[in-house]
Chain A
Amino acid sequence: MSQPLPLEGVRVIDLAQVFAGPACTRILADLGADVVRFESPNRLDVTRNLIITDNDGLDHFWHRASYFVIRNAGKREMVIDLAKEEGRDVFRKLVAGADVVVESFTPRVMENFGLGYNALRQVKPDLIMCSLSGYGQYGAMRDFGAYGMGLEPASGISSITGYRGGPPIRSGLSFTDPFSGFVGAGAILTALHYRRRTGKGQYIDLSEQEAAMPIMAAALLDCQMNGRLKERLGDRSEWAAPQGCYRCAGDDRWAVISCSDDAEFERTARAMGHPEWADDARFSTVLARREHHDELDALITEWTSQRDHYDVFHALQAAGVKSAPVLDGKEVLFDPHFRARHHFDVVDQPLLGKRPVQRHLAAKFTRFEAKARRPAPLLGEHNDEVLREIGYGDGEIARLKEDGVIAEKPNLPVPPQLVSMALKLPYDRYIEHRILQALEPDYREQLGIAE
């Protein structure tokens, strides 16, 4: 049974690469939009070549990259050389029949192609266009090169992340990338809402640095109101005590615990078999618990370190205490709750077989499902299909191919083996240095997705 989807019939032209933009358009695709990606034959989306995926050293490695697949499932794709006038011609024809254009180049690129918003609205007056960039389309830093690993720090968040007394630290992933991509999806839905009512399109300038700044609000306000720079608190909180990440039984297993008030702490103490802690003068009030946090952490660790992190989680939650296991990339795939709620969909990916791809929109609905409905596209997979839809005949398509305007293969400047050698270590060295915990050859059997 196919349920109607909210964005059915909406066509999105997607020039975005890597993480933020593709996360944005992945959500639009999951909501039913027809998302057509664009790549250049001369400059692949770098995630098609990301190392530490099973594309290494294989034929057609650009079809095999996990990073690319999870972010682009459900989309179609064309490979067109926009540096050629004929390529730009095709692009303009596509835009004339599209609703939304998303791009994530540095600001000068689309203008240099003559494909900025003002040019494109000539061919499609009610176009909605969203530019996602590191620092926005104007301002002193607009031309700055920007990678996700720089933008979380640039938004200020790293200045309030770190161990107590230690330096600022980035998250272990560039989380402001997907965060700004999500914000972009909401901004586009807002613009579509307005267009449905008024018939007017518009341009959206989304700076990743700016989009992440609301997370800094409390720190910004404390600085203004009290002239104070927030200290880095490790896993502790300004409001809750105790709060922390506690060692559990097993190798590098952990659980977090957070007590918002005296009653929650009393429940914690009882669950840990030490109801007397709640009457101990060192711990009976939130201020006392903050003062004696180290002592309390040692006592809590005595209890948690004897137990599996999931046992800690369930025992504390059963007692009415906020807690969670700290999950690694394998555990999240096996967690019964994530499984019950279908956080991962399985797509059947050409050359790779069945693979789990995470939801990018975590919202669940009763009338439709926001999920990946098809695998990620092969490079240029839909060149012919899309060209025919906009009226190109076989002869024209063949000529575009001959002239290198469209392609199904990349023009690689360097043999992939060379790139791979420069960019990665043999896996046993990653394990030796504990950058990887383990490599499990039977993972597909464990996941139940073996062929």
Chain B
Amino acid sequence: MTDRAMSGVRVVDCSQGIAGPYATKLLADAGAGVLKVEPPQGDYTRRLGPFPGDRPDPEASGLYLHLNTSKRSMTLDVSVPSGQVVLKKLLAKSDVFVCGERTSTLRAWGLTYDDLKSDFPDLVVAQVSPFGATGPYADYDGNSLTAMAMSTIMYNTGEPDREPLVTGGEPGEYIAGVQLWIGILAALENRARNGGGDHVDVSMAEAAAAADEYNAAMYGFQGAIRRRYYSRHIFGYPNDIMACADGHVVVIPGAGGFPSPLQPDTVSPMALLFENPDLDKDPLFQQMGERMVRWRDFEALVAPYLSTHSAIEIVMTAQALRLPFAYVPTAADLLVDEHLAERASFAHVAVPGDGEATVPGAPFKMSETPLRIEPAPRRGEANADVLLNELGYEKPDLTVLSDQGVI
């Protein structure tokens, strides 16, 4: 077996959904031994899909297959004492315990950090919950939507006269997952150097708020409160998605796109792109502030060009002029994208009963220890292996646990 980045780290993961499983996926793809402990009915992402041909099948849920690569799975009801006994035997052999429950639930199960720390002094207990383990909202429930609502990002996304808009794809869950992953790695690093396990407590709301670019800073440094304005940045327009002949592009002038007072005799790259040097004399090209508030006039100014050119023509021409324009691909576009294919940005995993699926590959490329994405496990496929070979149970014990619905 080749040496992987996280070889030898043993993780027991009781979390479900997106945040916790994404954190342990990043450990598992890097070589950590991750045992996913699912409730007997399975992680709830097994019910979320998408499913091949829209036929619900807990073994073929796309979200589950994506989030649980490279892990093993066992089923165990950790909400009952018989399950907790088995879990604690697993924790005794583990470095990291990941859970996605609120503290009130963990307390009922006797599985909080405080419950565990004396028996397992070197264990890293990593908990991700909607609002965190402590504080006035610790018992409140939530999801990506509530996290994005608390983050200030949502308040500033969307149109001024409509409701704030949440970003698609459950980003609050993924941000929290990445923050939990960092927290686990930091706690392991600290254990290696300074000794002792720890409690890693990640609030989804705070994780999303950590991604705030400058909303809180504008108040804390200036007393200014930002309001959503078509999702635009306070410091520049366009920097925005605009329609073109065959879809959309992101129009970004960058630092040197519009006319520069330093080079009064040079045609600006934006005017070159839009094939009209006279645009440089327009106040909409000369003054960002004017553009920002008279954006409809600016749109009218550039629409004749954008509406008659394809996204590829526009972006390639703009990039050649050193304007950092970008594409607005759909899922279908990404799947056939040449740049992503050249980078092997996707991985391919087997879908039980349905061939193969393309899932996002390694989110970063390591030269010595590249991440490796192995298929996600079937529900409970490691039950016998773990109980008999690793924990020393006998076959009749399995029957009892199974009959009682513990596994």
Q: Are B136's CB and A337's CB within 8 A? A: yes
Tell which of B49, B182, B222, B343 touches A361, judged by Cβ atoms closer than 8 Å.
B182
Of the listed stretches B302-310, B364-372, B377-385, B388-396, chain A binds B364-372
Q: Are A167's CB and B363's CB within 8 A? A: no
- Once A145-B322, A222-B62, A363-B183 are accepted as A-B contacts, the answer to whether A215 and B169 lie under 8 Å apart by CB is yes
- Once A183-B364, A193-B189, A213-B363 are accepted as A-B contacts, the answer to whether A220 and B326 lie under 8 Å apart by CB is no
Q: Are B262's CB and A413's CB within 8 A? A: yes
- Whether a CB of chain B sits under 8 angstroms from the CB of A163 is yes
Q: Are A338's CB and B149's CB within 8 A? A: no
Most A CB contacts (10 A, CB to CB) among B53, B160, B189 go to B189
Q: Are A217's CB and B66's CB within 8 A? A: yes
Q: Are A362's CB and B203's CB within 8 A? A: yes
A-B contact pairs, 27 of them (CB 8 A): A6-B193, A7-B186, A27-B182, A53-B222, A135-B339, A139-B343, A140-B342, A149-B233, A158-B241, A172-B232, A173-B157, A178-B210, A200-B368, A210-B343, A210-B362, A220-B358, A235-B145, A235-B163, A322-B130, A329-B212, A329-B216, A333-B216, A365-B186, A366-B198, A418-B261, A424-B288, A433-B229
- Once A139-B343, A341-B132, A423-B236 are accepted as A-B contacts, the answer to whether A169 and B145 lie under 8 Å apart by CB is no
- Whether a CB of chain B sits under 8 angstroms from the CB of A226 is yes
Q: Are A365's CB and B199's CB within 8 A? A: yes
A-B pairs, top 8 by smallest CB distance, nearest first, are A150-B326, A363-B183, A221-B62, A172-B156, A329-B215, A443-B223, A160-B168, A145-B324
Interchain CA distance A53-B214 in the complex, whole Å:
10
List of B residues within 8 angstroms of A229 by Cβ: 330-332
Which of under 10, 10 to 19, 20 to 34, or 35 or more describes the interface residues of B?
Answer: 35 or more
Which of under 10, 10 to 19, 20 to 34, or 35 or more describes the interface residues of A?
Answer: 35 or more
Interchain CA distance A31-B182 in the complex, whole Å:
10
- Whether a CB of chain A sits under 8 angstroms from the CB of B267 is no
**Nearest residue in A to B221 (C-beta to C-beta)?**
A66
Q: Are B182's CB and A189's CB within 8 A? A: yes
List of A residues within 8 angstroms of B227 by Cβ: 252, 328, 434-437
Interface residues in A146-171 by Cβ distance below 8 A to B read: 146-147, 149-151, 153-154, 156-163, 167-171
Q: Are B326's CB and A429's CB within 8 A? A: no
Q: Are B146's CB and A323's CB within 8 A? A: yes
- Whether a CB of chain A sits under 8 angstroms from the CB of B287 is yes
Q: Measured between C-beta atoms, what is the minimum distance from B48 to chain A in Å? A: 6
**Nearest residue in A to B4 (C-beta to C-beta)?**
A194
List of A residues within 8 angstroms of B133 by Cβ: 364
- Once A147-B254, A214-B174, A327-B150 are accepted as A-B contacts, the answer to whether A317 and B262 lie under 8 Å apart by CB is no
**Nearest residue in A to B315 (C-beta to C-beta)?**
A144
Q: Are A173's CB and B221's CB within 8 A? A: no
Q: Measured between C-beta atoms, what is the minimum distance from B103 to chain A in Å? A: 12
Most B CB contacts (10 A, CB to CB) among A67, A138, A175, A185 go to A175
- Whether a CB of chain A sits under 8 angstroms from the CB of B154 is yes
Interchain CA distance A46-B254 in the complex, whole Å:
11
**Nearest residue in A to B183 (C-beta to C-beta)?**
A363
- Once A69-B221, A414-B262, A418-B261 are accepted as A-B contacts, the answer to whether A341 and B134 lie under 8 Å apart by CB is yes
- Whether a CB of chain B sits under 8 angstroms from the CB of A19 is yes
Interface residues in A216-255 by Cβ distance below 8 A to B read: 216-226, 228-230, 232-235, 237, 239-240, 243-247, 252, 254-255
- Whether a CB of chain B sits under 8 angstroms from the CB of A406 is no
Of the listed stretches A74-82, A83-91, A279-287, A351-359, chain B binds A351-359
Q: Are B213's CB and A220's CB within 8 A? A: no
The 8 A CB mask of B327-359 against A (1 = contact, 0 = none) is 111111111001110110100000100100111
- Whether a CB of chain B sits under 8 angstroms from the CB of A192 is yes
